[in-house]
Amino acid sequence: MRFLETEHHEGFCIYRNGHGPVWVCPHAGPSIKRMGTRDSGSDAIASLCWSKTGGTLIISNTPRNRVVGIDFNRHLPPKDMALIFWDIMTSNSERAEWYRSNYAFVAKNEEDYERKRSIYEEFWNSVKGAGNIIIFMHTQNTTLKNFPSLMDVITYKGDGVDKNLVSEIVDEINNKYELMFKKMEKPYKNAIFLEELRFINDVLRKRGEFTLEAAKRYSKARVVKTIGVIKKYVDSEAYEGLIERFNEREFMKAVMLVLRKDIAPKVTVELNFFGDMAKKIKKLFVFKKNIVMDIELNLFLNKWYPDIAASIVLHILSRITSIERYRKLAIKQTRITNFLDRTSSIFS
């Protein structure tokens, strides 16, 4: 940490340690009212990586709650819309869910809007001005809808970094860590099992029943994706039985049928995430001369194996920047060049 500099901004902090990649955690702030709204552990893994490569670490410290905070990974809302949705966001209506999927915050008045807009723009200007290799770190929950991903790598469908290259690197990682991932299989699946039980409990508490409609009213996106995974891995009879008799017992029966499959967790490429949520923002620097990617770390991996999570991310970055057309970017950043020289023998 020889060159460490710290900057405290409203809504986020910046830690600099010489030249190097830009590690960004847009959802690392506190949770307000709802559990699981922060990307738990994304900041820890990003800081482990940053301590090896140097560069810049940008961490949000504001909640994603649109009323009291800002979701930096959504678009800047028009002023009129931010004011109109102030009251709507207190409900769990489909309009509120739509707004959360698209926009960064709501505002109670024009002064509130301008303050939040200023924080939002300063965050993104800080990211854009920090370097040419940018890695956004997120956390995916250990749920069935994300099965069997331990880490999902997002290339923006090849616009941020060559998707074919990343797929080759991920194949290398899955081969290298095959035995380790097999050892992770049982606790990983146990974590999914408990999370799905918690989901049922939440729906029952808040909706009074566990039916397909009640579950969708609680979280439509989660239910649709979970049913998609079940349909992929179980036979038609079991799937149709779940749809016809959607209740706690049938749901957990289907979950167990998936988890009993001889499938170990693995690193994936754009299995569940594609970087679409903030594409209009990121296109300002994604589609030019930069390396830009998102890493969706599984919460299980963050908690149980943080060092392995960081090693895998660094392996991916090391291999990308060893390719000639990308190495030119790394050469401009002396710390990462030194890192590559030190680790080339480890990852060969």
Which candidate, 52, 233, 23, 236, places its Cα nearest to that of 138? Answer: 23
Q: What is the model's pLDDT at position 288? A: 64
**Angle of CA points 228, 234, 236, to nearest 5°:** 90
Query: How far apart (Å, rounded) are the C-alpha atoms in residues 229 and 223?
Result: 10
Task: For CA atoms 200, 205, 206, 212, give the dihedral sign.
Answer: positive
Q: What is the model's pLDDT at position 1? A: 65
Q: Which CATH class is domain 4-176+265-347?
A: alpha beta
Query: Which residues have C-beta within 8 Å of that of residue 181, sequence separation ≥ 6?
Result: 150, 174, 264, 265, 266
Q: How far is CA 242 from CA 154, 200, 216, in A?
A: 32, 14, 15
Q: What is the model's pLDDT at position 346? A: 41
Q: What is the model's pLDDT at position 287? A: 60
So where are the chain's domains? 4-176+265-347
Low-confidence ranges of the chain (pLDDT < 70): 1-2, 35-37, 91-92, 278-279, 284-288, 328-348
Which candidate, 10, 275, 272, 315, places its Cα nearest to that of 150? Answer: 272
CB 140 within 8 A of CB 272: yes
- State pLDDT tens for residues 129-181: 899 999 999 999 999 999 999 999 999 889 889 999 999 999 999 999 999 99
Q: Residue 133 is encoded by which pair of tokens?
A: 């290799």
